Structure 1
């Protein structure tokens, strides 16, 4: 110990102080230990922070799911109904519906497309067109209307004239041909006021040719021409007829000359010779000599005179005349044929037969300068039609003439009448139902065109207002009769509720309800009938 150090006296600690010292030591050790652990934990927390920050959305969704699950379990466990709280669960009551009073109808409902009737593709036969079948004009606009005598198109400068008919044009019609297509042409011409001759005949004759000429005149085009060759044939045939007639005249003159008899001089000379022979015979008899010779001379003179007056054989001249007449007949037939060849005719490429005129042009596939090939346009009826489909079971409930209703764009109901029912190809195919609506305004047609509407068609209805109940309310009695159970007390009383049985007669069933008429007991509108327990 140094001299400058002050001596320190150590006093022993009591027990309590020793405990505090130990505790202080322990706390320091703990603090030191905690300090070390905190430094380690800080790095761990930093790592978890990075995990949480990188998947924050996922952790939020997971937390919400856990909270929702816990909340649902708690609500399901602690939430109870008032009846359960009271310890008294009520008995279920009777299921009832009121009796209805009003008209009842059974309807078939279907969907239908709104469009113009009978849309058809128009194909023009251009096989008879000279040169290329180029569209040169008269191209109709979409929405245009075709009527009889309309020009559907102009091809190579020639018109395609619209006429009413079902049979398509498939050949050129000219004098001498016959068939159903000729009959259709005649009927079409008669329908537009042109006289085709005998409209009941299927022969294209001169009168029909004249009518075709009038058709082209009204359409504003010249009738088809047979060309210069046909005209030259007519001129040649006419010259042949004149030559044959000259031959007849010459043959007739030859025949007349051959069969006219002797001239007057020859006849006088023959008579004089006979008279001289008679005088010579008289003189011979008077002299008594040369009588025999005089008789022979007289007989010879008479025979010569008779032969002179006998009919001359004109068979050669008559044969020449018959041949001349045959030549005239042949020449006249050739002339008629030649003249028929230049009469108006109707090429198949210049007529378009359409049914149910007028027709509306829905689409045009060609323009001026195009070559006609395939479908040129689409036309439909000028009237609007609803085209729907129904299952066979529903379709058999419908009839042509039945009325239905559909909604216009403004929500009002509009009437439509079934015009045709077309059965499907097999039992599984749906039937086509065609309906013609009552007249529509141009604005309504524009709004409805191309839309699909719901059509309701009544197939049965009650005569006025009737009582009706759900089909589930009907039960069968011991005798098979129909009956309903009417509740007279509170239906909530369940099996304890007071009820009565009413025997009814059923009628029309529609939309899950059935018409009922009480026959044993009373039944009134508004009364409750049992449909379930």
Structure 2
């Protein structure tokens, strides 16, 4: 056995006996003491190696997320009467479609931001009139592009009412429509067929799959709108997503009978799946949302398993020279991430990108 081989065997034995704890891919692997030193025929085998790399390391925090269609809201109608029809759960409703029927008359979905609060009829004007006219134009009815409800507007409204099967009055009442910002998906019913119109008709969500997760408000700066995240899907699949919204902090409800300090406020993070095709028919499920919790840019890294515990304390790596000989380089450790660790050579030793280091076989 050569002197170099003997030194390597002694170093590996010292490493094993030291009980080195190293981070491996976010977990913690502990090399326990008490193993025998490698036999001569073992250490003489060809060495496994890896390369010193210069890269950006990122640590990620895993959040428990849920795949669905986002936060539910309710739709209300200012109509009086008996509920005679409701859309199916899961149906997507867009502009001009029915949200419900009351006394067998349709309550219609329009796009906008201002709920209808008054009757719209000839002689009135305002942003609610402009909103109605924008919807009529989008549905193919001729209107002028202003905020005045004119006789011509009433003519277009009567044509719309005829197509809906409603009485052609030329007047739009608050109970005739429900205003939402865009298409919605029916998540559930609040009203009951045959019952009086309640405060809310249906529960709705957005129409696209999203992932939602909660994060402690104190960690709010770890996510940003338009920021990228990794997603761990059911079945072990992974994909990427983009943060679309971060809510204001909200204190979660305290557990009944629980004492002590109140729960820490949380924010809700909403994530759009970048490639919806990867969901492959998934409607709902648990998703792991991995957000960056720390980053070190442009640093030298080695595989965590390349670290050696030095007899004098600290850690080092075994660098393979061009002629096959090795040298021990003491290093200071930095961030651990994804099975690699940031290293800085100490004591004037040289360690460069592209150097070869020994790793356990």
TM-score under structure 1 length normalisation: 0.47
Distance in structure 2 (CA, Å) of the matches to 1:503 and 1:389: 38
Conservation of the 8 A alpha-carbon contact between 1:486 and 1:527? no
Q: Distance in 1 between matches of 2:339 and 2:167?
A: 70
- The 1:458–1:186 alpha-carbon spacing in structure 2 relative to 1, beyond 3 Å, is same
Q: 2:212 corresponds to which residue?
A: 387
For residue 265 of structure 2, give the secondary structure of its aligned residue in structure 1. Answer: coil
| CA deviation after TM superposition for structure 1 residue 383, in Å | 0.9
Q: Which runs of 5+ in 2 are unaligned?
A: 1-15, 23-49, 252-262, 319-326
Deviation, structure 1 residue 165: 1.4
- Aligned residue for 1:153? 100
What SS is found at the alignment partner of 2:137? helix
- Distance in 2 between the 1:442 and 1:516 partners? 37
Corresponding residue of 1:134: 82
Instruction: State the alpha-carbon separation in 2 of the partners of residues 164 and 399 from structure 1.
Output: 28
1:97–1:453 Cα change, 3 Å: closer
CA distance in structure 2 between the partners assigned to 1:442 and 1:218 by the alignment: 40
Structure 1 residue 466, shift from structure 2 partner: 3.0
Aligned to 1:181: 128
Larger strand share, 1 or 2 = 2
**CA 507–487 in structure 1, closer or farther in 2 if over 3 Å, else same:** closer
CA 1:527 to 1:393, structure 2 compared with 1: closer, same or farther past 3 Å? farther
Output the CA distance in 2 between the equivalents of 1:461 and 1:503: 17
Q: Deviation of residue 155 (structure 1)?
A: 1.0
Matched, 1:191 2:21: no
Runs of 4+ in 1 over 6 A off after TM superposition: 97-100
Superposed, 1:318-467 pairs within 5 Å as 344-357=170-183, 359-425=184-250, 428-440=264-276, 444-445=280-281, 447-449=282-284, 451-458=285-292, 460=295, 466-467=301-302
Matched positions, count: 289
Deviation at 1:512, TM superposition (A): 9.8
Go from structure 1 to structure 2 and tell me whether the alpha carbon gap of 1:370 and 1:140 turns closer, same or farther (over 3 Å shift): same
Contact 2:123 2:149 in 1 (8 A): yes
How far does residue 173 in structure 1 lie from its aligned partner after superposition? 1.1
Aligned 8 A contact 1:139 1:154 in 2: yes
* Matched residue SS, 1:375: coil
Paired residue for 1:249?
none
CA distance in 1, matches of 2:171, 2:340: 68
Query: Among residues 482, 498, 522, which one is paired with 2:350 in the alignment?
Result: 522
Aligned counterparts of 1:106 and 1:180: Cα–Cα separation in 2:
49
Change in CA separation of 1:194 and 1:487 when aligned onto 2, cut-off 3 Å: closer
Give matches, 1:54-453, under 5 Å.
94-96=18-20, 104-126=57-79, 129=80, 133-136=81-84, 138-197=85-144, 199=145, 201-224=146-169, 344-357=170-183, 359-425=184-250, 428-440=264-276, 444-445=280-281, 447-449=282-284, 451-453=285-287
What residue in structure 2 maps to residue 486 of structure 1?
Answer: 316
Task: Tell me the C-alpha RMSD between the 2 structures.
Answer: 3.8
The Cα shift of 1:172 comes to: 1.3
Task: Check whether the contact 1:468–1:516 (CA below 8 A) recurs between aligned residues.
Answer: no
Q: Distance in 2 between matches of 1:152 and 1:465?
A: 59
What CA distance in whole angstroms lies between the structure 1 residues aligned with 2:301 and 2:167?
A: 72
Q: Computing the radius of gyration over CA atoms, which structure comes out larger, 1 or 2?
A: 1
Contact residue 467 and residue 525 of structure 1 kept, 8 A: no
Check conservation: 1:100, 1:469, Cα contact below 8 A.
no
- Indicate if the aligned counterparts of 1:164 and 1:354 stay in contact, CA closer than 8 A: yes
- Secondary structure of 2:276 counterpart: coil
Q: What is the DSSP-based 3-state SS (H/G/I as helix, E as strand, rest coil) of the residue aligned with 2:201?
A: strand
1:113 to partner: Cα distance: 1.8
Change (3 A) 1:407 1:159: same
The whole-number CA distance in structure 2 between the counterparts of 1:212 and 1:507 is 69
**3-state SS of the aligned residue for 2:166?**
coil
Q: CA deviation at 1:203?
A: 2.7
Kindly state the Cα deviation for residue 509 of structure 1 after the two structures are TM-superposed.
5.5
Measure how far apart 1:439 and its partner are: 4.4
Matches of 2:77 and 2:185 in 1, distance apart? Answer: 17
* Alignment partners' CA distance in 2, 1:513 and 1:443: 30
**What are the Cα deviations for residues 250-278 of structure 1, in whole angstroms up to 9, with x where unaligned?**
xxxxxxxxxxxxxxxxxxxxxxxxxxxxx
What CA distance in whole angstroms lies between the structure 2 residues aligned with 1:443 and 1:390? Answer: 24
Q: TM-score, normalised by structure 2?
A: 0.67
Over 3 Å counting, the alpha-carbon distance change for 1:155 and 1:100 in structure 2 is same
> Cα distance 1:503–1:151, how it changes in 2: closer, same or farther (>3 A)?
closer
